Chains A and B, each alone.
Chain A
Amino acid sequence: MTGTLLPGTVAGDVLAPVRDFDRFLGDASDPSAVISTERSIELDERSEFPTDTVAAVDAWGLQRYYVPAEYGGLLTDAIAPLLMIRHLARRDVTAAVAHGKTFLGSVCAWVVGGDIAARMAAIAVTGDPVSWGLTERGGGSDLSHGTTAAHIADRGIRVEGTKWPINNASRGRAMTVLARTDQRHGPRSLSLVLVDKHEIDAATITYERKVATHGIRGADISGIRFRSTTVDSANLVGPVGHGLEIVLKSLQLTRPLTTGLSLGAADQGLAIALEFADTRRLYGRRLAELPGARRVLAEAVADTLLAEVVMFAGVRSAHETPAEMSLVSALVKFLGAETVDLLFRDLTHFVGARSQLVGVAGAGAFQKAARDNRVVGIFDGNSIVNLHVIVNEFGNMTRDGNPPDLDAVLAVLRPGYADRLPTSALRLVSRHGSSMLRALPGLVDMLEAKGASVAALAPARRIAADYRALLDEAADLPRQSQPDPLAFHLAERFALTFGAACAVAFWLARRGSIHGPLSRDDAWLAAVLQRLSFRLGGDPIDNDVAYAVTEAALEARTSGVVTLLSDWLG
């Protein structure tokens, strides 16, 4: 394993630039900040690209954190770019999607390594956007049926076809294009080609116009047409025929990263709801004092913190258990996006009319974040695709084996940073599923031994029992090429139990490093577990826990963000 758990392996504080970036972006309520909420809403209303913001972020150099240090960038532990993306997204998801796309567009090169990675690095570090040409019109997530072709000859690679809809297709300088190199359908019929617009005959490409989108309205979601676009033979990203495999491995890294977008949106939604509850008077009382409101807020806090621990477990796993990422990345992406979708649906009712207004009484940010957020669950591996991945791993997840070493599982989350992403250790399928998930029963026992409250323990035990029942039910399912709805249902429940494992492990491994009001007791853990238990069919969050966790969140909101992670806020 190339990653390491030992703190101090990476020289300096990995999160220092994250804090710098936060300070650089400034206070979004200040119209003169790099990103102001008011301006973001205006641009969104006009479907305009956030040009100034992205230019400023380029100038600051966020893109350097997308490029591994070994190729001249500043990426060591992936938590840094992830939290930077979250900083962007908690101000404006559109800007985060627009800028962060370069990480997605270039990641195949990091998975492949070697010369092509060095070339990709040279493009990406400049801030020139790199996009990812995977999907085609009418094809959606079914990448294997793509028709864009790459003809490989001695003199170069000729690309023919159309990629659509692609984030940054028009404004991007380069694109990693998935193209057919074998007309037969099979796992080895696609290859990846780097198309750098600086190196090609510009007359060979044309664009499909920007697509109107539900959210991220300003983003450049468009298409590109290649007509005998020829690039150098050296522009192959990985061996011929390995395109699909490289993409599938790359998605294992990008899925956890996209939860940073979800979390940034959740940060916005939660902050608006907390402010509303704190300042709104209803029926003669402060809204936050009404028990019904408390519960809704507690659920939103729990959803946010769940998304955060799952995101964190995802990125730590990418470093420490890369061979499990095929499954873990799908669990993380599905659960993170689904949880934040749920948060917005619930908070929309709570915030009421204000949730729908644009540019009145400080409103507008909520409806934008709600629409923006849904992009995460739909693009770059949608919920159905992620659930399908989980279903395909049922055999590995239910295979008998020794329970994982709890200490090793907790070590994944313990404080400390890695020096690089072990991309060569990624696998297309896991051997035994997720050790984090397998550890759930043991982690729950440990929770009791470490003195967690009954409010946390009771739902934890219930979820662990659900997990055991799920294993039995999944083991009995026949294997199907088109899984039936029950399989998807079980996959959803596995994801929820995975979330519980992440939360319990986080508390066990890191409770000493939580700062602020949430560190006072384990109310946050109880809230997250009770909420998960509710989503699995148990009782809702109880009054005492709801009270405690919203008190902590209302207090935390004054310092900015409700978070269990420390040292990332500038």
Chain B
Amino acid sequence: MTLSQTFPFTGALNRPDLELLFGDPHIDGPFNYAAIAADDDARRMNTFAEGVLDAWGAAAEFVPAALGGRWTDTSAMVTRLRPIFRRDPAVGLGYGLTTLMAAVNVWIGGDEEQQADLAMRLLRGERIATAFHELDHGNDLLHNECTADFGGGVWKVRGAKQIINNIDRAESVLIMARTSEGVVARQFSLLLWHKAPGDPVDTTRRVLTAGMRGCWIGAAQFDGVKISARRIIGSEGNAVATALKAFQITRATIPALAVGSLEAALHETILYARDRQLYGGSVLDIPHARSLYADALTDTLIADALSGSVVRALHLAPRESFVLSAVAKYLAPQLLMDAIQQLSVLAGSTFYARTEPYSILEKLVRDLIVVPIGHAGSTSCLMTILPNLPVWARRSERTVEADLRLFELNASEELPALDFQALSLGAGSTDSLGAALHDPRVRQALAQHAPQLLPLVYELAEGFKRERAIARALSPDQLTAESAAASFDVARRVSLFFAAAAILGSCAVAAGTSDLAADPLVVEACLERVRGRLAHQQRPLRREIIDRLVDHGEWCVDESRSVGLRPVTIYPKARQRVRIPAGNREGRRGT
């Protein structure tokens, strides 16, 4: 039986939920938390999980429907893949995300033949690694040194790439190489290398990391690997432009997926806090512990609202995605990091001295530290936002209405397929997301359902206006890497206002429903935490809000529901068996 016979490739609707295939990670099973912790210790991927994902045809998630895959609505893709991140972020990253990072470059820059070829490879279960990073240059891609020289109809790649996920076990590698010495931004090209025996390259050196220990991260030393001229993705010199468009998709998607890991951590924390008896009650009875939990849940919900809206913006407002995806990749991982930090303080010695059955918390803390660093670090994201601020501010000031579809995180209709060519490298012509802070329809919904929040909303909207005025007045010398720290602060604050807008928008479209985003106490919590971040001073949430958030957390645990803004059933007791074809992992390095 081949993979495609296990489940048909296309059609997401009849495909079993990964939650069902993985089962409850708290009970016996090959991909339960105990197995995941053991794999983490041993620095290996969970082979059962990878087998399930192969059988499920997970790679088809990264192939556009037009090319035979399942990818239409990116938001729905996030929902389908979150079960991996609720269990083991390392599998999430190592199985699929690095392949997605490479593939989006081909969907954007490749020609028809290249796209069809790659789609075929992915659909038969192959991986691609993304070989862009050089340790000495980090996010400063324009100073990368790995080169490719053209001659005799082929490119010859020489140089080194480091910290490359799956470099040794992927069948193909997308390489960013210096191909000319001309204008800096046009010096680099993307070359898709399909490995062949005897290629002059060493990819065997593994790089160990403190988080995501199971991932097979390595380095490559190219000594004249030949790549056919047909394998250049996009035109020569186009690597940076292609990558900057492609990475909008992954920068938006990664934090949205990582929200799943926080959902898991919040779930474990409730289990721990109920179970652990201290001072004559449970930890969950201690007001300070409840406050820590409520803060962590709130920060997670903010990250969920922001990253969820930005993922939808890829489809609905692609010309604004350049800035928005940088905002999401800058802010959401920080929110998630802070959230898990709070949970680690709450769990205390149970986190630090890994104590069963809660030892997964310790791993999640380590894994999540990697999220803000990998694939464009925080500063790199701020530097994407910064030069666009004056233009964005002018256009935002002219925008009256938000695109409320951005906030329909629980929409039953799928979004139309992504238009890769609509992604751009500018600030867009309008501010579809930020406008939610002053959109009259949002105000009206709040006035009707949560009038008590209006003063806080007005305050935030005023702050947004002031910030836009500051952003508009930034001069060109205030928009570079060499600008004063204060310029970066503007980008930081603008990101926070986007987060507030995402919360308000989500509240407005959910108003009148039983969605979490419609709950005035939850919205107040999110807005208060954003305000606290703007003032870099967090006061504890009100008692009533804390109780509401802890109750929600407990209810989700009791009902096996995910705790975020997109509630789904999680951790089913009965695991649906899936046939993992023998030899499926053949030829791949599983360690």
Contact = CB atoms under 8 A, between A and B. Distances in A.
B532 to A, nearest CB: 9
B348 interface: yes
A348 B349 contact: no
A384 B288 contact: yes
Contacts of A187: none
B485 A485 contact: no
Most buried by B among A145, A368, A384: A384
B354 A211 contact: yes
Interface residues of A, number: 69
Interface stretch (A67-75, A234-242, A281-289): A281-289
A213 B372 CA distance: 23
B278 interface: yes
A486 B539 contact: yes
Nearest to B535: A537
Contacts of A361: 135, 162
A489 B351 contact: no
A228 to B, nearest CB: 27
Interface in B519-542: 535-537, 539-541
Contacts of B135: 353-354, 360-361
A292 B278 contact: no
A281 B277 CA distance: 52
A227 interface: no
Contact of A356 (B211, B280, B353, B485): B211
B287 A482 contact: yes
Contacts of A281: 143
Contact of B352 (A142, A213, A294): A213
B138 A353 contact: yes
Interface string B348-384: 1111111100010010011001101110011100000
A357 interface: yes
B341 interface: yes
A135 B287 contact: no
Interface stretch (B300-308, B430-438, B476-484, B500-508): B476-484
A452 to B, nearest CB: 23
A384 B346 CA distance: 8
Nearest to A282: B140
Interface stretch (A370-378, A404-412, A425-433, A561-569): A370-378
B179 interface: no
Interface in A333-357: 345, 348-350, 352-357
A540 interface: yes
Contacts of B349: 135, 140-141, 165, 378-379, 382
Contact of B276 (A45, A138, A214, A375): A138
A560 B559 CA distance: 56
Most buried by B among A348, A352, A358: A352
Given A212-B359, A352-B138, A485 B540 contact: yes
A356 B537 contact: no
A485 B349 CA distance: 21
B291 A485 contact: yes
Nearest to B295: A485
A176 to B, nearest CB: 19
A367 interface: yes
A211 B484 contact: no
A345 B337 contact: yes
A537 B277 CA distance: 35
B571 to A, nearest CB: 24
A9 interface: no
Contacts of B344: 374
Given A382-B349, A486-B539, A349 B372 contact: yes
13 contacts: A140-B349, A165-B353, A211-B354, A211-B355, A280-B138, A283-B143, A292-B488, A294-B485, A356-B211, A359-B208, A367-B210, A378-B348, A382-B349
Interface of A: 45, 135, 138-142, 145, 165, 211-215, 221, 280-285, 289-292, 294-295, 345, 348-350, 352-361, 367-368, 370-371, 374-375, 377-379, 382-384, 387-388, 482-486, 488-489, 534-537, 540, 543, 546
Interface of B: 41, 133, 135-140, 142-143, 162-163, 207-211, 219, 276-280, 285-291, 337, 341, 344-345, 348-355, 359, 362, 365-366, 369-370, 372-374, 377-379, 481-486, 488-489, 535-537, 539-541, 543, 546
